[in-house]
Amino acid sequence: MSVVDTFTRPGEAKGEIPFSERGPASIESVAGFGFWLFLLSDVVMFSALFAAYAVLSNHTAGGPDGAKLFDRGFVLLETMCLLLSSFTCGLMALAIERKSAPATYLWAAVTFALGAAFLGLEISEFLRMIGEGASPTRSAFLSAFFTLVGTHGLHVTLGLFWLLAMMAQVATLGFLPIVVRRLLCFTLFWHALDIVWVGVFTIVYLGGLA
Amino acid sequence: MSDHDSAASVAQGHAPGTAHVRRGSFLKYLTGLCFAIVLTFASFWAAETHLVWGPGVPVLLAALAIAQMGVHVVFFFHISTGPDDTNNFLALAFGVFVVGLVVFGSMLIMSNLDASMMTIDKLMQMQR
């Protein structure tokens, strides 16, 4: 094709096929973009819980407040578990790209273990607080706290089950395009949970809005 | 014509985390992890420190949290502002906009209502 290049838009190299003639996007792009939109809508849902927490965080109804209940060393440990699991999840994505099943299983196992450790720490923290009389029914502050942090914990739990299901699919189906797409969506989900956790530890545990 | 046949397989932009060319690499994830760990420790240090003027601490914490979220987006999600990423980045920008509206809008409205609400003692006095 020796057509004179009269219209090259920004982002198109000279002589490249123009955007308008490229046809529909590949299924990988569509699935990934759709899941990205879902994640953003999930973050919007979390923002409503964050707003509720921010409004209610001072309404302790004479009960214990955050400074009395939260142990920052413990939260740092939880944060490190989740952060490292996000990293190993990235390494799992690289192993999937290489189509290496042993490396995928290895990093999935490490991700699962770190995620489960995070969840265990969180549940033990919740039980300790409830044992000290700081249950969700005690005050508006505690209701908001358990809703926000509990919803995040629920997401982590779902993520762990999802990871197990994906490993079963890799074992039975192998690296089919559809399995790889689902694995990609899982890694995005797991990274998104870490972003939400950054908001949680800043606003809830470190009192970023005080 | 062969140009157009191959054109059908060329994606319009790509999904976050994937690309026609590899974007994730071990080094990139490691860099992201290092940045994230440093920023996390900085946040926990900032919450305890007396070196920073008290009322300035929340601002510092917010800056550190936003920086860490940025690190996650760039190094873990591989979202950029490049031409192939326009859709992803616009969606992200809209998401951030809605989150900002919900959080700060709620806080503004509730603090305004709180400020204009009568205190309980004053209400009791009026009932007498």
CB spacing of A32 vs B36 below 8 angstroms: no
- In whole angstroms, what is the distance from residue A182 CA to residue A174 CA? 12
**pLDDT higher at B125 or A118:** A118
Q: Do A153 and A115 meet the contact criterion of CB atoms below 8 Å apart? A: no
Nearest neighbour of A97 by CB, restricted to B22, B37, B48: B22
Closest CA to A76 of B42, B13, B120: B42
What would the pLDDT profile of A165-209 be if each residue is shown by its tens digit? Answer: 999 999 999 999 999 999 999 999 999 999 999 999 999 998 866
CA A80 from centroid of its chain's CA atoms: 14
Which position has the token pair 């779902």? Answer: A158
pLDDT tops 50 at residue B9: no
Question: Residue B95: its chain A contacts at CB < 8 A?
Answer: 40-41, 43-44
Contact of B102 with chain A, judged by CB distance below 8 Å, is answered with yes
Confidence at residue B23, expressed as pLDDT on a 0 to 100 scale:
65
Confidence at residue A1, expressed as pLDDT on a 0 to 100 scale:
45
Confidence at residue B13, expressed as pLDDT on a 0 to 100 scale:
59
Confidence at residue B2, expressed as pLDDT on a 0 to 100 scale:
38
Give the three-class secondary structure for A210. Answer: coil
Q: Do A174 and A25 meet the contact criterion of CB atoms below 8 Å apart? A: no
Q: How confident is the model at residue B4 (pLDDT cuts 50, 70, 90)?
A: very low
What would the pLDDT profile of B89-111 be if each residue is shown by its tens digit? Answer: 899 999 999 999 999 999 999 88
Handedness of CA A16, A19, A24, A29 (dihedral sign): positive
Q: What percent of chain B has pLDDT over 70?
A: 81
Q: How confident is the model at residue B79 (pLDDT cuts 50, 70, 90)?
A: confident
Domain A41-54+70-205 has CATH 1.20.120.80: yes
CB spacing of A93 vs B33 below 8 angstroms: no
pLDDT tops 50 at residue B5: no
Q: Do A77 and A114 meet the contact criterion of CB atoms below 8 Å apart? A: no
pTM above 0.90, yes or no: no
Give the three-class secondary structure for B80. Answer: coil
Confidence at residue B85, expressed as pLDDT on a 0 to 100 scale:
79
Confidence at residue A124, expressed as pLDDT on a 0 to 100 scale:
95
Q: How confident is the model at residue B54 (pLDDT cuts 50, 70, 90)?
A: confident
- In whole angstroms, what is the distance from residue A163 CA to residue A136 CA? 30
Confidence at residue B15, expressed as pLDDT on a 0 to 100 scale:
63
CB spacing of A198 vs B14 below 8 angstroms: no
CB spacing of A199 vs B22 below 8 angstroms: no
CB spacing of B77 vs A188 below 8 angstroms: yes
Contact of B80 with chain A, judged by CB distance below 8 Å, is answered with no
Question: Residue B17: its chain A contacts at CB < 8 A?
Answer: 32, 93, 184, 187-188
The residues near B41 (Cβ < 8 Å, ≥ 6 apart) are A76
Confidence at residue A87, expressed as pLDDT on a 0 to 100 scale:
95
Confidence at residue B38, expressed as pLDDT on a 0 to 100 scale:
96
Q: Do B7 and A17 meet the contact criterion of CB atoms below 8 Å apart? A: yes
* pLDDT mean for each 10 residues of chain A (210 residues): 53 66 80 92 95 90 85 93 95 92 95 96 94 90 95 97 95 92 93 95 82
Residue spans of alpha helices (H) in B1-128: 2-9, 26-48, 57-75, 86-116, 120-127
- The predicted model gives B53-62 an average pLDDT of 88
pLDDT tops 70 at residue B7: no
